Amino acid sequence: MSRNKTPTVSLSGHQSMPMIGLGTGDFQSSGETVKTAVIEAIKVGYRHFDTASVYGTENALGEAIEEVLRLGLIGSRDELFITTKLWFTDCHSERVVPALQKSLGLLKLEYLDLYLIHLPVSSKSESIGIYPSKDNIEPLDVKGVWAAMEECKKLGLAKSIGVSNFPVKTLESLLSAATIPPCLNQVEMNPTCQQKELREYCKERGILITAYSPLGAPGTRWGNNRILDNEILIDIAKSHGKSVAQVALRWLYEQGVSFIAKSYNKERMKQNLEIFDWSLTEHDLEKISQIKQIRLNQENPLFEYVA
Ligand code: A2P
């Protein structure tokens, strides 16, 4: 499928974001694997890529972008939509611009399309992993950190700014402090985590939702097969001659939500783009709304803070 067939959504009224992004949230694969996957993804039509400083994949994504430009697979960097995220060790006002400059250095880019605050908290110490202890977590200085995010946009380092994992409560403080409101909130969303209340709140305020773990992150330390093995989704998939993954992704699309699907497998990458020429029925939607809701990653101490 060509890029032109992937619908886009308008961000901040001036930017066009493809509704499907390829995720690189991967703590296992080598840089070479990530680079190869991104190049393959561009060949099959992806133009939107999502990374984060904590993933350690910014460098590989940057190398892939250099390579596709060198090979002429795309005409210019402007054809891509690139997102990265500020890790919570850098969620202190004076560290935000330097953290973005470091990410841009690894990505080998002049600007980002979208910069997100990764989590609605800060950390006390600089070097902690993705599963920090409770003692290391402290409240986010919403006003100071968001002012620094606005500075990133004013400096032209990020075209749009937003947040990730923000619950309603933190969004409320942010909106009362912001001069430039966040354009987007990237959160866990899938048929087993439908985020109804948060979606309603964001919709009323013009904040887009992007779903991460749209398939429940099977094969990762924090994910599981609950979506791919769900009986309701399996039945719906059979009735349409589609895969369960396609049903889960189509459901997100029909909710008006963009999503970051991660696959490094060329066939599955293609399959995940093929969700636009068919639709779910009212009956399917009703059945999906009855699926039991269970969050991922509940053992992580960060869980109590995130949307
Ligand atoms: P793979 O890279 O081998 O394709 P999520 O997007 O929810 O984080 O889930 C990512 C995981 O889902 C990856 O392990 C990926 O494996 C797998 N995956 C992605 N697309 C599909 C698909 N169409 N069918 C089955 N598994 C998929």
- DSSP for 153-177? HHTTSEEEEEEES--HHHHHHHHHH
Once rounded to an integer, what is the mean pLDDT over residues 129-136? 73
pLDDT at 306 over 80: yes
Tell whether ligand 1 has an atom less than 6 A from the beta carbon of residue 101. Answer: no
- Which of 117, 118, 123, 175 lies closest to 148 in space, CA to CA? 117
pLDDT at 123 over 60: yes
pLDDT, residue 135, reads 81
- Which of 27, 24, 35, 107 lies closest to 68 in space, CA to CA? 35
Tell whether ligand 1 has an atom less than 6 A from the beta carbon of residue 253. Answer: no
Once rounded to an integer, what is the mean pLDDT over residues 262-284? 97
Atom 2 in ligand 1: residue holding the nearest Cα: 263
- Which of 4, 29, 38 lies closest to 19 in space, CA to CA? 4
pLDDT, residue 131, reads 67
Q: Both tokens of residue 220?
A: 């990762």
Tell whether ligand 1 has an atom less than 6 A from the beta carbon of residue 270. Answer: no
pLDDT, residue 128, reads 63
Q: Both tokens of residue 208?
A: 């887009």
Mean pLDDT over the full length of the chain: 93
pLDDT class for 71, splitting at 50, 70, 90?
very high
Task: Give φ, ψ of 266 to 5 degrees.
Answer: -60, -40
Tell whether ligand 1 has an atom less than 6 A from the beta carbon of residue 192. Answer: no
Is 55 tagged catalytic?
yes
CA of 168 to the centre of ligand 1 (A): 29
Tell me how far apart the alpha carbons of residues 24 and 85 are, in angstroms, rounded to a whole number.
12
Architecture of the domain defined by 3-301: Alpha-Beta Barrel (3.20)
pLDDT, residue 158, reads 98
Place of tokens 């109590």: 304
Q: Which helix (H) or strand (E) holds 86?
A: strand 81-86
pLDDT class for 80, splitting at 50, 70, 90?
very high
Q: Which residues contact 307 (CB under 8 A, 6 or more apart)?
A: 120, 165, 166, 167, 168, 185, 187, 188, 195, 198
Tell me how far apart the alpha carbons of residues 56 and 59 are, in angstroms, rounded to a whole number.
7
CA of 20 to the centre of ligand 1 (A): 14
pLDDT, residue 3, reads 45
pLDDT, residue 153, reads 97
pLDDT at 203 over 90: yes
Mutate to test the pocket of ligand 1, among 44, 265, 271 (most ligand atoms within 8 A of CB): 265
pLDDT at 299 over 90: no
Q: Which residues pair with 259 in a beta bridge?
A: 20, 211
Mutate to test the pocket of ligand 1, among 26, 57, 213, 215 (most ligand atoms within 8 A of CB): 215
Which comes out higher in pLDDT, residue 11 or 103?
103
Q: Which residues contact 219 (CB under 8 A, 6 or more apart)?
A: none
Tell whether ligand 1 has an atom less than 6 A from the beta carbon of residue 218. Answer: yes
Tell whether ligand 1 has an atom less than 6 A from the beta carbon of residue 261. Answer: yes
pLDDT in tens, 8-49: 999 978 899 999 999 999 888 899 999 999 999 999 999 999
Q: Which helix (H) or strand (E) holds 90?
A: none
pLDDT class for 129, splitting at 50, 70, 90?
low
Once rounded to an integer, what is the mean pLDDT over residues 190-219? 96
DSSP letter for 193, please.
B
Once rounded to an integer, what is the mean pLDDT over residues 137-166? 97
Q: Which residues pair with 260 in a beta bridge?
A: 21
Point out the least confidently predicted range of 19-33, 64-78, 127-141. 127-141
pLDDT class for 127, splitting at 50, 70, 90?
low
What is this structure's pTM? 0.95
